A and B are shown apart, each in its own frame.
Chain A
Amino acid sequence: MEKTGLADKQSDRRTFLKYLLSGWFGGFCLAVLYPLIGYLKPPEQNEVEVTSVSAGKISEIEKESSKIIRFGNRPVILIRTADDKLLAYDAVCTHLDCTVQYKKEMGVIWCACHNGKYDLTGRNISGPPPRPLQPYRVIQKGEEIFISKIT
């Protein structure tokens, strides 16, 4: 009788120590993981919110040609068409993030990565792109061209 009582007491002590040690180990892991995960998360960089940028002078862009403009940290493609219209679209392909270009011969906006095509209204017409390109507003003030977000 007495013997089993002692064994019980010992196993109680053992379980208690087990829990204590596991709890401590869990806490230790948390104390290591918390700063580690925080460190691996890239810190947010303050970016200036851009609503409108200058795209240079009209004389700098020929008819039936295009130009990539920096809009904040995004590329925007500015196209001057054959009938002298100015169009601007977000230049990031909606398929897999490549930057698109204007193909004069085909009269389309073309993505070289996977042969995606958009017409000059930004609509995805061929290849893998799932969505149309987002348009930007183009304003011409005299010689100067400005591009702004459509709100």
Chain B
Amino acid sequence: MTWIVVAAVATVCVALRVGAPLLAHRRSLPPSVERRLQAAIPALLATLVALQLFGRRGDVGIDARAVGTLAAVAVFLRRRSLVLALVAAAAVTAAVRAFA
């Protein structure tokens, strides 16, 4: 399963990067489709966050990772740094686990 997922995801990523420049003289994605895909991204990302945090079957509730993610959001809004935000997420999650 691991290698199927690796191969499939890599193929999609390479195709998206290399496809357009190779076929630049032909048609690519119609602009309306492109705009629709772009518009869907926030909902997609929100769903990935929600499923990560609360998507485990029969296990809906707040856990340490949710607190860590909130910390990452707070840091990212202030500093716009992904690295700092991720460090905050890990540190806060570990701290909540250690003291809760």
Is the A/B pair a real complex? no
Contact surface of B with A, Cβ cutoff 8 Å = none
A contacts, CB < 8 Å to B: none
